[in-house]
Amino acid sequence: MINTFLKVIQLSVLAGMRGAMAPAFVSHYVAHQPAKETDSQLLHLFRSPTTANVTKVMALGEIVGDKLPQAPDRIEPAGLVGRIVSGATCGAVLSEAEREDVKLGAVLGGVGAVAGSYAFFYLRKWVHEEKGVEDVWLGFAEDLLAIALGTQTIHQD
């Protein structure tokens, strides 16, 4: 149980960093697990190889979009809501896949996404302003960190 919710928290922080990347990792993870007759429609959808591929393309699009000058701040209402939905959905799906409390997974996922959104927004802003690192390079560093976090999370037992 603890291991599942640790994964949920890690992936929801990832949703705060990159809202589309967390579903890509969760879908990839659950697509490689056996289905059960009792799986919800949402878990069934995430298990689909098509969903796994579509979410990966969306994550790549987000990586590119994050580097554009007109990209909105992640803590603006629309972006933050999207990250909360991403984190909560991923938390619910991962919890169900591992036969844990889906509601608790969703709540932890939403809270983790908020925490990740604010933490990485202000960290990135601080490094840019105080250390003079260009934002585009911080974006690339954050991408690498997000990919490492997602990879490590889905491969832990």
pLDDT of residue 100: 95
pLDDT of residue 50: 95
pLDDT of residue 68: 87
3-state helix, strand, coil in the chain (%, to 5): 80, 0, 20
Question: Which residues are CB-contacts of 156 (< 8 A; sequence separation ≥ 6)?
Answer: 3, 6, 7
pLDDT of residue 61: 96
Task: Work out the end-to-end distance of the chain between its first and last CA atoms, rounded to an integer number of angstroms.
Answer: 11
Rounded Cα–Cα distance for residues 84 and 87 (Å): 5
From first to last of its 157 residues, what are the pLDDT tens digits of the chain? 789 999 999 999 999 999 999 999 999 999 998 888 889 999 999 999 999 999 999 999 999 998 888 889 999 999 999 999 999 999 999 999 999 999 999 999 999 999 999 999 999 999 999 999 999 999 999 999 999 999 999 998 7
pLDDT of residue 34: 87
For 87, the domain range is 2-154
**Structural domains of the chain, count:** 1
From residue 140, how far is each of 38, 42, 55, 96, 147 by CA, in Å? 40, 31, 19, 32, 11
pLDDT of residue 36: 87
Which residue type sits at 96? E
